[in-house]
Structure 1
Amino acid sequence: MRQLIAKRLIQTIPLLFFVSIVCFALIKAAPGDPVLSFVTPNMHAEDIERVRANLGLDKPAYVQYGLWLKELLKGNLGYSLVNHQPVAALILERLPATAGLMGCAILLAVILAIPLGLIAGAFHNKWVDKLITFLSYIGISVPLFWLAILLIYLFAIKLHWLPSMGMRTVGVNSAADVIKHGILPVSVLAFSFLSSYVRYVRSSTIGQLREDYVQIQYAYGSSRWIVLFRHVLKHVLLPIITLLGMSLAELVTGAIVTETVFSWPGIGSLGMTAVRGMDYPIIMGITLFSALLLIIGNLLADVLYGFADPRIKSSR
C-alpha cells in the first residue's frame, strides 16, 4: 500500500505539469485582453503599453509561462490581475464556503442515494424502480441554473420561505442564518449528485442480487430487507467510494454555476469573475488546485477500496 501511495504521488508531478500547460495554452488562445479592464478613455497608447509591461503581458506566451512556473516552484501562485492580491490567499479565503456547500450536497446525496438505489434494484422493472429511474433521468437532464432559478422563484419570491441569494443576511451573524441561505443551493447540487449516484447503486444492486451468496441467504430464511441492507449494501458501497473520490475535485469547481446564480461567495463565483476579467493567475490556481484534489481523491478511493474489499488488499 505504501508503494502504491508513493507511486501515485510521484505521478502527480508530471500530470500537474501537463494540466498547467494545457490550461495556460487555452487561456492564451481565448479571445479577450486582460489589459482592457485597466484602460480608461483618457489613456494614451503609451500608458496602455506601460500597464501591459507592468503586468508582464508584453512577453511571449512561453516566457510568461516560464515565469509563472518559476514562481509556482517557490510556492507562489502569483497575484490577481484584478484584485492585486495573492491567488493562494483568495482561494483559501473562498474555500470554506465552497467546501461547506459541496460537502453538504454530496453527503445528502449519498445518504438518499443508497436506500433509493437499493430499493430500485430490489424491485427491478417494477413501478418503484421506474419512478426512481425516471426521477434520476430528470435530475441528469435538467440544467442546474434552470432548477436554481425555479427554486428561487418558488421558495423565495412566491412563498418567501427562504432567501434568494448570498450566504448571510446583512447584520446577522449566526449559524442558523447560514444554514437558511444554504438550503436552496445545497438542494440543487444534491439533486444533481443524487441522480447519478442512484443509477450506480441501482446497477450494482441488480448485479449483486444475482450472486450465489444472495440465494444462500434466502435459503437460510433471511428476508429481502435483511439481504439488502446487511449483505448487498457492503458490495454496493464500492462504486460509491469511486464516485466520492472523483467528487473531491468538485468541492472546488462543482458549484460554479450554482454559486453564480445564488451569489454564494465561494471559489466557483471567484472563478467566474476571473474568467470574465481574463484574470489568468486565478484561473490557473483554481485549475491546479482542482486537479490536485482529483488526484488525491482517486488515491483515497484506491486506498479505501483496499480496506473495503479484502480481495483487492490481498492481491496488492
Structure 2
Amino acid sequence: MRQLIAKRLLQTIPMLFFVSIVCFGMIKLAPGDPVLSFVTPNMHPEDIERMRASLGLDKPAYVQYFLWIKECLSGNLGYSLINHQPVLDQILERLPATAGLMGISIALAVLLAIPLGLIAGANRNRFVDKLINLVSYIGISIPLFWLAILLMYFFAIKLHWLPSMGMRTIGTDSAWDVVKHGILPCIVLAFGFLAVYVRYIRSSTIGQLKEDYVQIQYAFGSNKSTILFRHVLKHVLLPVITLLGMSMGDLVAGAIVTETVFSWPGIGTLGMTAVKGMDYPVIMGITLFSSVMLILGNLAADILYGIADPRIQIKR
C-alpha cells in the first residue's frame, strides 16, 4: 500500500504540469485584457504600458509561464491583479467554507444513496423501485443552478424558512446560523450525486441478489433485510468507492456553481470573481489547487478500495 501511495504521488507531478500548461494556454487565448480594468479615459499609452510591465504582462507568454512555475515551486502562487493579495492566502482563507460544503454534501449523498439503492434493487420493478428511479432521473436531469433557484424561491422567498444567500447573517455569530445558511447549498449539491449513486447501487444490488451466496443465506433462514445490509452491502460498497473517486471533478464543478448561486464565500465564488475580472494568478491558483484536490480524492478512493477488499493490496 505504501508503494502504491508513493507511486501515485509521483504521478501527480507530470499531471499537474500538464494541467498548468493547458490552463495557462486557455487563459492566454481567451479574449480581453486585464490591464483595461485599470485604465482611465485620460490615461496616456505610456502609463498603460508601464502598468502592463509592473504586472508582468509585457513578457512573452512562455516567459510568464516559467516565471509562474518558478514561483509555484517556491510555495508562492503569485498575487491577485485585482486586490494585490497573495493568491495562496485567499484560497486557504476560503478553503474551510468549500471543504465543509463539499464534505457534508458528499456524505449526505452517500448515506442516503446506500439504503435507497439497496431498497430499489431488492424491489425491482415494484412501486418503490419506480418511485426511487423517478427521483433519480429527476436528479440526473435537473441542472444544479435551476434547482438552486427553485429551492431558494420556495424556502427562502415564499416560506421564509431558510436564508437565501451568504454564510452568516450580519450581526449574528452562532453555529446554528451557519447551519441554516448551509442547508440549501448542501441539498442542491448532494441531490445530483445522490441520483447517480442510487442508480449504481441499484444496479449492483440486482446483480448481487443473483449470486449463489444470497440463495445460501435464504436457505439458512436469513430474511431479506439481513441479507441486504449484512451481506450484499459489503459487495455493493466497492463500486461506490470507485464512483466517489471519479466524482471529485464533478463535485468541484458543482461546488463552484452552488457557491455562485448562493453567494457562499468559498473557493468557487473566488474563482468566478477572478474569471469576471480576468485575474490570471487567482484563476491559475484555483485550477492548480482543484487539480490537487481531484488527484488526492482519487488516491483516497484507491486506498479505501484496498481497505475494503484486501485482495486489491496483494495484486498491487
- Match for 1:54: what amino acid? S
Compute the displacement of 1:109 (Å): 0.8
Matches within 5 A, 1:249-288: 252-288=252-288
Structure 1 residues 147 and 201, CA gap change in structure 2 (3 angstroms): same
CA distance in 1, matches of 2:283, 2:219: 58
Give deviations 1:28-70, integer Å, cap 9, x for gaps.
Answer: 1111111111111221211111111111111111011011011
CA distance in 1, matches of 2:132, 2:121: 10
Matched, 1:74 2:74: yes
- Match for 1:236: what amino acid? V
Aligned residue number for residue 313 of structure 1: 313
Question: Percent identity over the alignment?
Answer: 79
Aligned residue number for residue 16 of structure 2: 16
- Contact residue 116 and residue 198 of structure 1 kept, 8 A: yes
Aligned residue number for residue 180 of structure 1: 180
- Contact residue 185 and residue 258 of structure 1 kept, 8 A: yes
CA distance in 2, matches of 1:78, 1:62: 16
Compute the displacement of 1:245 (Å): 2.7
Aligned residue number for residue 207 of structure 2: 207
Aligned residue number for residue 231 of structure 2: 231
CA distance in 2, matches of 1:93, 1:120: 42
- Contact residue 102 and residue 254 of structure 1 kept, 8 A: no
- Contact residue 165 and residue 181 of structure 1 kept, 8 A: yes
Compute the displacement of 1:248 (Å): 4.5
**TM-score using structure 1 length:** 0.97
Aligned residue number for residue 124 of structure 1: 124
Aligned residue number for residue 113 of structure 2: 113
Structure 1 residues 297 and 251, CA gap change in structure 2 (3 angstroms): same
Compute the displacement of 1:253 (Å): 4.4
Aligned residue number for residue 143 of structure 1: 143
CA distance in 2, matches of 1:263, 1:132: 31
CA distance in 2, matches of 1:184, 1:121: 29
CA distance in 2, matches of 1:108, 1:69: 38
Give deviations 1:43-100, integer Å, cap 9, x for gaps.
Answer: 1211111111111111111011011011111111111111101111000000001111
SS in 2 for 1:210: coil
CA distance in 2, matches of 1:124, 1:77: 52
CA distance in 1, matches of 2:243, 2:83: 35
SS in 1 for 2:95: helix
CA distance in 1, matches of 2:152, 2:102: 19
- Contact residue 144 and residue 254 of structure 2 kept, 8 A: no
Matches within 5 A, 1:37-56: 37-56=37-56
Give deviations 1:3-26, integer Å, cap 9, x for gaps.
Answer: 111111111111110010001001
Compute the displacement of 1:310 (Å): 2.6
- Contact residue 98 and residue 252 of structure 1 kept, 8 A: no
CA distance in 1, matches of 2:4, 2:310: 16
CA distance in 1, matches of 2:310, 2:126: 34
Matched, 1:83 2:60: no
- Structure 2 unmatched ranges of 5 or more: none
Compute the displacement of 1:113 (Å): 0.4
Aligned residue number for residue 219 of structure 2: 219
SS in 2 for 1:254: helix
SS in 2 for 1:265: coil
- Contact residue 275 and residue 283 of structure 2 kept, 8 A: yes
CA distance in 1, matches of 2:257, 2:2: 38
CA distance in 2, matches of 1:240, 1:314: 21
- Contact residue 250 and residue 290 of structure 1 kept, 8 A: no
CA distance in 1, matches of 2:221, 2:197: 30
CA distance in 1, matches of 2:70, 2:295: 23
Give deviations 1:124-149, integer Å, cap 9, x for gaps.
Answer: 12221121111111111111111111
SS in 1 for 2:294: helix
- Contact residue 145 and residue 257 of structure 1 kept, 8 A: yes
The range that moved more, 242-251 or 299-308, is 242-251
- Contact residue 246 and residue 298 of structure 1 kept, 8 A: yes
CA distance in 1, matches of 2:37, 2:283: 16
- Contact residue 253 and residue 290 of structure 1 kept, 8 A: no
CA distance in 2, matches of 1:215, 1:45: 82
SS in 1 for 2:264: coil
